[in-house]
Amino acid sequence: MFEQSVPFPIIEASLDFPKESRELLDSGMRNSLYEALRNVAERVSTLLRSTTDNWQGSAPDFPRRGGFRIRTTGGNATITIIPVGNDMGINKWVWLDRGTDKRYAMMSKDWESKTQPGNFQSGRGAGKVIFYGREAFEKRRMPPRPGIEPREWSEMAREEMEFQMPAIVDGMISKALRKAGF
């Protein structure tokens, strides 16, 4: 059985509301805010899903519905995106996202990665995995290969959410002010 060897990835972004606007966010506004934040989470989930579009075998999913959590408490809104799937798929994604010091996978000479650092898109790639796993390397008395360069998708996703969230909150505050007659 495959054990999860990396911490479960969570991508989270938070935004504090200005103190003077908190009273304006009545329950109707909170519902509108929630819907707007849900749209941000769905857009970012779509970006994250594109990282695995061309993967074969195990891959995590970032569902547009239900793959995220939104909390609006007091003067704060938080979006949390959580990948779903089996441990192997999630681990592969995390290894690529965060990078590794060592790689226990032997690739063919014509290997080209499907993903590149700093890019959400997954391309065609080329080559195949010849063997993988620490035990496979030890059995062949081979040292691990050089590590994986981090793709930093979770950081890019967090930055995208943090970029979009203030405009949404500003729009909600403006709407509340107009509704209150200001």
What are 77-126's pLDDT values in tens digits? 889 898 888 989 998 999 999 999 999 999 999 999 999 999 999 888 89
Does the pTM of the predicted model rise above 0.75? yes
**pLDDT band with cut points at 50, 70 and 90 for residue 36:** confident
| Angle, CA 60 vertex, CA 153 and CA 56 arms, to 5° | 100
Residue 156, both tokens: 């890019």
Enumerate the domain spans of the chain: 11-100+150-179
Q: Number of helices (H) and strands (E) in the chain: give both, helices first.
A: 4, 7
Question: Quick one: which of 113, 97, 92, 117 has its CA closest to 5?
Answer: 92
Q: Which residue intervals of the chain are DSSP H helices?
A: 27-49, 87-98, 134-139, 153-179
How far from 11 is each of 27, 61, 161, 179, CA to CA, in Å?
Answer: 27, 13, 10, 34
Question: Quick one: which of 81, 51, 79, 77 has its CA closest to 63?
Answer: 81
**pLDDT band with cut points at 50, 70 and 90 for residue 151:** very high
- CB neighbours (10 Å) of residue 11? 24
